[in-house]
Structure 1
Amino acid sequence: MAFGYDLKKEEEVKEYVENLGIEYRFGCYKEKKPEVCHLLADYLEAIKKDFVKAATVYKTNCVDYKYGKSCLKYGNYALIGRGRDKSDTSEALEYFERGCELNERTSCLHAGMLLTATGPASTVQRDVPKGYNYLKKSCDANDEMACHYLSGMYLTGVPKNVNEFNPHNPEKNKNIEYLIKPDMKQAFALAKKACELGNIYACANVSLMYKKGDGVAKDVDQSKKYFELAQALQKAHETTKELKFQLGLEDKK
């Protein structure tokens, strides 16, 4: 039962869902509550599958009501081209930056990744110092992926000219100019933080760094500890995926 409805009956489910939409519209348009506007957009996205309207609400809620989560969602829409004819990476970056300014840590992560990305798929002007600051803000707010990403930047270094970097020839790389120089101590500290926040790959890196003595004193026991932690996180992740799959099957029965 929810709000007096019997959710086992199809007609009452439909009525409940429609009334939910009415409540969200009232809370957003009449009461002007940003958190309810975001719920309305989620409702339009998940229940109504109206991505165009959802995008409009996310965008308006970001710009007018300064709601960081809506900035992130609209940025994601722009990035993948949802609710529009094609993607727009520049607009996505703009809204990720807006979200980051509103302390939405995943927005900071996405902005940082776009600004530091390389390769033909990247359509945003590379700006490593700016992107680094976004990633650091996200990591400081305990986003495990941002900490892991930053750790990777310190592991290999970030070359000024990516075409000069050769991952198979470390000796040659010593002579190139870096925007961020390789720093194993920084890489280790960030990997350890990312691991403690639950990043599987960071835990594996910490284990390896303890084993090799990269950025930290060699310690076989610590290496084993973090290897086992990575395995435990991997198993938990697989269990969660399996449970979600089983629930999905049950929903289809």
Structure 2
Amino acid sequence: MRYFITLFLTALAFLTLSLSASAQTPTPEQLFEDAKARIEAGEIDNVLEDFVSACAQSYAEACNYVGLIYSASEDSDDFKTAFSFFDMGCNLGGASACEGKGNLLFDGKGVEKNDTAARAAYITACNGNNAEGCFYLGSMEYNAQGGPKNLSSALISFNKSCTLSHTQGCESAAYMQRNGEGGAIDFIKAANNYQKACDQNLAGACNVRGIMHERGEGGNVDYVKARAFYQKACDGNNGFACDNLGDLYNDGKGVAKDMVAGNIAYAKGCELNIAASCYQVGYSAHYGREQAVDYAQAIEAYTKACDAGNARGCNNLGVLHADGKGFPKNDPKAFELYQKACELNNAIACRNIGDFLRDGRVGEKDVTQAHTYYMKGCAGDDATACYQTGYAYHYGRGIDIDYAKAHTDYTTACEKDYASGCNNLGVLYASGLGRDRNDGIAKSFYEKACSLKSGVACRNLGDFAVNGRAGAADLRSAHNFYKQSCDLSDGAGCNSLGFSQFKGRGGSIEPVAGRASYKKSCDLNFAQGCSNLGLVHYNGEGGPKDDVTARALFKKACDGNYNDGCRNYGVALREGIGGTADEAGAVVALTKGCNLGAQAACQMLSK
């Protein structure tokens, strides 16, 4: 049809209309078909006058063609002429002409805009089995244009346009059936109509067909079929489908997990301006997910995602600023991006703001305000944020102590498999805080936390085993728990393991291993571990005697506020162990040890 229109736009100025006829005038249908044939052959001379002549003889389709020719112009007078021919054809029963009339009435071209009259014209067109007329009618009924909103009638109109092979009509009917608009939800009919639209290469319909397979709407979940539909839609430049395809590759659904293919799909989705895909492109570049780490690419993709309102893109762009990756380290800029992401309800960003305020990374520390953001993060289902609110209630950080609320928030974190939340629930039960003391329940939470790789919880299990809480004392089990704890880099656990190794609780005395465990504890900045490591260096246990190193380790322990570390350091200074004697320094160290609760240090001060 557009081919016809283009030809006539060029020729209109040169054509002279004539309605004269002779005795040999052919029938209007012959005039119309002959004119169409000449157009197809590239001959346009006198074609318009034949269409006009056929229209004048009450041949409706000819009137429609004349209307199409004139409506292709941008001249207002031509639109008026077009309307007159569409109106004539519609009055003669031409469904296509009624659709053309409705279009001009709806757009207000060549005639005053009149939605009510347009809807009436589309009704006539649809009754005459004009597919586009049915589609436009359904749209007006759906959107309450030119009359009341009528979803049931809209669904009928869309279905009829689909039956008449109108692709968008099939998609619109499917949308309504899938969402229960104009009738009950009917996934089967929706699937059939989306399939018809997809078969006509409507990419959006293919994407939704994939979603239905992925969700099991109208049948069983079928990731393989979902992937095939997403691939077809993505090939048709539907960005949402590319993003969905990337997710399947990312999750290994319907195909082996393949982030190379996933990254390709996300890259195309991002090119098609899908913010979620841009975030994924940024994530892969940021963390080297099946590609080389590329902070410049991550910045570009996260920025595009963030600018489009993708909260995760804003948050992760903030992470790059906070970590100084791809940018000079810039906490204020990171904070600004976290705020934007938090306002977009990204729970992790809200928690990140809490961390910044708690740690004073953008000014003075403000643990009270930090708690407010942790609460928002927890409300958004971020387990770490829930742990932080629980911790604040547990220890009174910025707010009043409330063990009941601590229990609630730790429980939320633990249910999301956040190990520290489970461990601290165990602490509440072990201590009888906010609940009756119950070592059995405490142990169960420590066990869950330990299985989730909490070194602190594994150490707590070791302490329970040593002290016979929630069961008989079992030093061998305690030793094993301390080893797990140390392997998970818990400094206190390494210290306990070292003690256990020196005592032979694992089966035999292991001084070399014990010395190594104390060293790891000290390297993890556990002050008691440094003090114990100092003692084994002083005594030459598990390795050579080394007074100089022992003195340095006692100092580190004292600097870490371990009371006996200060006592040992004071002794070393007073007696000149590992260096020159320093009585004044010894008094300072012993005084600190005394103030920290080391009674032996207090007694030494009195001598």
Normalised to the residue count of structure 2, the TM-score between the two structures is: 0.30
2:389 to 141, 150, 156: 150
In structure 1, how many angstroms separate the alpha carbons of the residues matched to 2:279 and 2:412? 31
Matches within 5 A, 1:129-140: 129-140=368-379
For residues 196 and 61 of structure 1, do their structure 2 counterparts lie closer, same or farther at Cα, with a shift above 3 Å needed? same
In structure 2, how many angstroms separate the alpha carbons of the residues matched to 1:156 and 1:17? 46
Letter in 1 for 2:317: Y
Paired residues of 1:155 and 1:182 also in contact (CA < 8 A): yes
Q: Paired residue for 1:81? A: 324
Matches within 5 A, 1:53-202: 53-62=297-306, 64-84=307-327, 86-118=328-360, 122-158=361-397, 179-202=398-421
Shift of 1:221: 2.8
Q: Paired residue for 1:170? A: none
In structure 2, how many angstroms separate the alpha carbons of the residues matched to 1:154 and 1:231? 23
Paired residues of 1:192 and 1:202 also in contact (CA < 8 A): yes
Instruction: Give CA deviations for 1:106-133 in whole Å, capped at 9, x if unaligned.
Output: 1111111111224xxx344434444222
Letter in 2 for 1:154: Y
SS of alignment partner, residue 218 of structure 1: coil
For residues 43 and 200 of structure 1, do their structure 2 counterparts lie closer, same or farther at Cα, with a shift above 3 Å needed? closer
Paired residues of 2:387 and 2:421 also in contact (CA < 8 A): yes
Letter in 2 for 1:141: G
Shift of 1:156: 2.0
For residues 211 and 59 of structure 1, do their structure 2 counterparts lie closer, same or farther at Cα, with a shift above 3 Å needed? same
Shift of 1:66: 0.4
Q: Paired residue for 1:37? A: 278
In structure 2, how many angstroms separate the alpha carbons of the residues matched to 1:188 and 1:18? 44
In structure 1, how many angstroms separate the alpha carbons of the residues matched to 2:280 and 2:453? 32
Shift of 1:137: 1.5
Letter in 1 for 2:310: Y
In structure 1, how many angstroms separate the alpha carbons of the residues matched to 2:304 and 2:260? 23
Paired residues of 1:90 and 1:124 also in contact (CA < 8 A): no
Paired residues of 1:89 and 1:124 also in contact (CA < 8 A): no
Paired residues of 1:147 and 1:191 also in contact (CA < 8 A): yes
2:449 to 230, 235, 239: 230
For residues 55 and 134 of structure 1, do their structure 2 counterparts lie closer, same or farther at Cα, with a shift above 3 Å needed? same
Greater Cα shift, 36-45 or 186-195: 36-45
**Aligned-residue RMSD, C-alpha:** 3.1
In structure 2, how many angstroms separate the alpha carbons of the residues matched to 1:223 and 1:41? 42
Shift of 1:52: 2.0
Letter in 2 for 1:153: A
In the alignment, structure 2 segments of 5+ residues that lack a partner are: 1-230, 232-258, 455-483, 485-607
Paired residues of 2:371 and 2:392 also in contact (CA < 8 A): no
In structure 1, how many angstroms separate the alpha carbons of the residues matched to 2:263 and 2:446? 47
Letter in 2 for 1:217: D
SS of alignment partner, residue 66 of structure 1: coil
SS of alignment partner, residue 453 of structure 2: helix
Paired residues of 2:295 and 2:326 also in contact (CA < 8 A): yes
Letter in 1 for 2:356: L
Instruction: Give CA deviations for 1:130-152 in whole Å, capped at 9, x if unaligned.
Output: 42222112112222211111122
**Percent identity of the aligned residues?**
25
In structure 1, how many angstroms separate the alpha carbons of the residues matched to 2:438 and 2:449? 17
In structure 1, how many angstroms separate the alpha carbons of the residues matched to 2:311 and 2:284? 18
Q: Which has the larger radius of gyration?
A: 2
Structure having greater relative contact order (Cα 8 Å, sep ≥ 6): 1
For residues 125 and 55 of structure 1, do their structure 2 counterparts lie closer, same or farther at Cα, with a shift above 3 Å needed? farther
In structure 1, how many angstroms separate the alpha carbons of the residues matched to 2:294 and 2:377? 31
For residues 97 and 224 of structure 1, do their structure 2 counterparts lie closer, same or farther at Cα, with a shift above 3 Å needed? same
Letter in 2 for 1:230: A
Shift of 1:234: 2.7
For residues 144 and 24 of structure 1, do their structure 2 counterparts lie closer, same or farther at Cα, with a shift above 3 Å needed? closer
In structure 2, how many angstroms separate the alpha carbons of the residues matched to 1:28 and 1:227? 44
For these two proteins, the number of residue pairs brought into alignment is 199
Letter in 2 for 1:188: H
Q: Paired residue for 1:251? A: none
Shift of 1:181: 1.8
Shift of 1:43: 4.3
In the alignment, structure 1 segments of 5+ residues that lack a partner are: 4-15, 159-178, 239-253
